[in-house]
């Protein structure tokens, strides 16, 4: 009987450790190069397919008369779960933990302690990739959304 409990405990521990890597692998639907043009601003985002519990991403925003804004991102398997980390120049890396979604074509990452955004959301919108950041900014609800088309 003691052996059975030990085997069950080991199985549960192994499943718990594997879950974040599986959560990252489930985000394969985000992989690709994506682009949107809105009000003269071009935003591109590229995600490499998941390998070994990690995805690498980069975003670039270009607006006439302004320097390009470049952001690096990664999604990694962490003990807390799949974690989206944004690397914005001049700021410390900001982690957001996957709270819902994954293989179903939607992923909601959260960091309630961050100033803005507190949530980063990716969703497949048919053939497109929709992204949204949301939260509270200066005491008021705020958000920004993008509907990317696959770059061909």
Nearest CA-CA partner of 107 in 4, 5, 31, 6: 31
Low-confidence ranges of the chain (pLDDT < 50): 1, 3-18
Cα(30)–Cα(108) distance, integer angstroms: 13
Domains and CATH numbers, the chain: 2-150 (2.40.128.20)
pLDDT for the residue numbered 56: 99
What own/partner pairs with CB < 8 Å and gap ≥ 24 does 18-22 have? 19/81, 20/53, 20/77, 20/78, 20/79, 20/80, 20/81, 20/82, 20/83, 21/52, 21/53, 21/77
pLDDT for the residue numbered 106: 97
């Amino acid at each position: 009987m003691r052996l059975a409990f030990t085997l069950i405990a080991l199985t549960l521990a192994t499943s718990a450790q594997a879950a974040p890597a599986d959560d990252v692998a489930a985000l394969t639907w985000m992989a690709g190069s994506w682009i949107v043009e809105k009000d003269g601003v071009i935003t591109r985002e590229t995600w490499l397919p998941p390998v070994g519990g990690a995805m690498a991403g980069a975003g670039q925003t270009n607006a006439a008369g302004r320097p390009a804004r470049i952001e690096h991102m990664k999604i990694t398997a962490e003990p807390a779960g799949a974690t989206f980390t944004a690397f914005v120049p001049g700021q410390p890396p900001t982690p957001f933990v996957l709270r819902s979604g994954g293989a179903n074509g939607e992923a909601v990452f959260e960091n309630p302690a961050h100033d803005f955004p507190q949530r980063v959301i990716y969703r497949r919108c048919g053939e497109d990739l929709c992204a949204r950041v949301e939260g509270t900014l200066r005491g008021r609800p705020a958000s920004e959304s993008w509907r990317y088309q696959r770059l061909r």
